[in-house]
Structure 1
């Protein structure tokens, strides 16, 4: 890893906590990032937007910030817009890409327009014909809120009679609910770093959860889930999946870093894009640091690498108004 003078990074804010349903995970991520940056001598400071006002964000005079917020108000473009207004460079994707990636339905539409494979789906609202949807998509299927992460509000529906309860749970988080074709197969995730033509994928991770249930508890609070990195598969399939994930990242116009979740269908080894996370977890159980280690980067190094990409995405208007 190339040397970098820490004084060039200036005063750094690590934004974590926040008001989303993923606050608990974000606190774990943020504390890890904060410690990692401090270990390099970075002048890093914690900042929780749920406990401090945006006026404080401005008055702190941060030279750049590392966004370790997950979910709404931190990963959805809203905070990115504030940082653009305050002219504080930040990690990760810009306003539009963050907003798109946060909406799983919109993300799927973008991917489909780029001929990228993603499971068939239907959008459910109050009054939707749940029996018809289950017949069209087939059972089992997945029902989830399109704006949440960390498997919050998600249900695997095995029989039509379970549709109503699954919809009600997901509707607690979103007005529109995503019903998605269930793909039986291997669960993979791919971290992508960089921007545009320079974006690249880290080694693929395969997730082997107890009884195939990679839920909130198994993600963050148990050691029962197994992670295989690099995922055991031949070089051609590995390259195909990594290229697909980089293309999916570019299609949304992501930059800095993100993590793409993929299901590899057991029947024919066909990969399906599930979602993209523009501010992935950075906890002790998180997957981006794991992939980075497989590529020869420590947790601390990947945090610093991401911080170095902090930037403003909206170019200033330099045109002078005509008199």
Structure 2
């Protein structure tokens, strides 16, 4: 059995604090499972850090650019250390929302209409009929996401807090429910419904207790539940993902059930905090947090 695990966490993305929380929780669970664990707060000298500690495997608990977009995965491939979660190509595709959507569209997966525009496009007014959603091209945890409803006039070029590049993804807003699905290898663990207490399941709702209600399993028609699970597995597979992923869906049942599902994105390194969804979904299937992270370490690899 692999004995020495380096848990990679922190880094310098906007999701640093979430990564630290995930990493510490995973490190604790892995120690309880009998592994030797070294916690690594990742810097730009990661190759030197790994050369010093000489781990058997890397547990990648990083979130956001560099840790989740194929960059760290490529470094781990070069130095030959097996790592958890998806490989270089799948990680890069999943992190780039427009590129992932191109792949999914080619495979017939359902998505909301959308387009990539320059921030300056908003100076001429709405870039599509209200309501719509503005997203950074490559951030996670709902960082930088804005829902623009009728009467709203949010424009990213006027937002001093916008630090996510000159181009944005704009998508039609889909009413209905928030459904998220966890996949582990070639197995769907289940689907959960999230009911945010605010406008949507934003960063605060994801990481602040009491800001959202989790309903596991998602209380939707059995046929709809089976459909979204099958769609989630397909989304995972056509991108070439491995390990654990969590895909985010809108379920428009405003005209009654069964409704229609719309794929928003896939998270190749979903959060592993106390409020995260994948551990909650896994627990409903009888998998403890320790069993989950053990499986992830045992599934670690290079070159695929």
TM-score range normalised by the length of the shorter chain: over 0.9
Q: Give distance in 2, aligned partners of 1:170 and 1:97.
A: 29
2:81 equivalent in structure 1: 88
Residues 229, 161 of structure 1: alpha-carbon distance in 2 compared, 3 angstrom cutoff: closer
- 8 Å Cα contact 1:171-1:177 kept in structure 2: no
CA-CA distance at 1:50 after TM superposition: 2.5
2:95 equivalent in structure 1: 102
Task: Decide which of 240, 255, 259 is 2:227's aligned counterpart.
Answer: 240
Summarize the alignment of residues 54-93 of structure 1 with structure 2, pairs less than 5 Å apart: 54-93=47-86
CA-CA distance at 1:169 after TM superposition: 6.2
1:16 equivalent in structure 2: 9
CA-CA distance at 1:124 after TM superposition: 1.2
CA-CA distance at 1:213 after TM superposition: 2.6
What's the Cα RMSD here? 1.8
121-130 or 24-33, larger mean C-alpha shift: 121-130
Residues 264, 123 of structure 1: alpha-carbon distance in 2 compared, 3 angstrom cutoff: same
1:312 equivalent in structure 2: 302
Specify which structure has the higher proportion of helix: 1
CA-CA distance at 1:133 after TM superposition: 5.4
CA-CA distance at 1:176 after TM superposition: 1.7
11-20 or 159-168, larger mean C-alpha shift: 159-168
CA-CA distance at 1:31 after TM superposition: 0.4
1:191 equivalent in structure 2: 182
CA-CA distance at 1:163 after TM superposition: 4.0
- Structure 2 residue 276 is matched with structure 1 residue 289: no
2:120 equivalent in structure 1: 127
Structure 2 residue runs of 5 or longer lacking an equivalent are none
1:154 equivalent in structure 2: 145
Task: Decide which of 231, 241, 264 is 2:218's aligned counterpart.
Answer: 231
Q: For 1:168-227, what per-residue CA distance to the aligned partner results, in whole angstroms no more than 9, with x for missing partners? A: 468521232100110001001001111xxxx12111110011034322111102323110
Q: Give distance in 1, aligned partners of 2:138 and 2:173.
A: 19
SS at match of 1:59: helix
- Structure 2 residue 130 is matched with structure 1 residue 139: yes
Query: TM-score, with normalisation over the residues of structure 2?
Result: 0.94
Q: For 1:10-54, what per-residue CA distance to the aligned partner results, in whole angstroms no more than 9, with x for missing partners? A: 211011111110000000000000000001111111011138542
260-269 or 104-113, larger mean C-alpha shift: 260-269
SS at match of 2:198: helix
- 8 Å Cα contact 2:249-2:265 kept in structure 1: yes
Residues 297, 169 of structure 1: alpha-carbon distance in 2 compared, 3 angstrom cutoff: farther
SS at match of 1:9: coil
SS at match of 1:203: strand
1:302 equivalent in structure 2: 292
- Structure 2 residue 37 is matched with structure 1 residue 47: no
CA-CA distance at 1:266 after TM superposition: 2.4
Summarize the alignment of residues 259-278 of structure 1 with structure 2, pairs less than 5 Å apart: 259-268=246-255, 269-278=259-268
Detail structure 1 runs of 4+ shifted over 6 Å in the superposition: none
SS at match of 1:188: strand
- 8 Å Cα contact 1:15-1:69 kept in structure 2: yes
Q: Give distance in 2, aligned partners of 1:14 and 1:232.
A: 35
CA-CA distance at 1:131 after TM superposition: 4.8
Structure 1 residue runs of 5 or longer lacking an equivalent are 1-7, 315-323
Q: Give distance in 2, aligned partners of 1:133 and 1:103.
A: 24
Query: TM-score, with normalisation over the residues of structure 1?
Result: 0.88
Which structure has the greater CA radius of gyration? 1
- Structure 2 residue 242 is matched with structure 1 residue 255: yes
156-165 or 20-29, larger mean C-alpha shift: 156-165
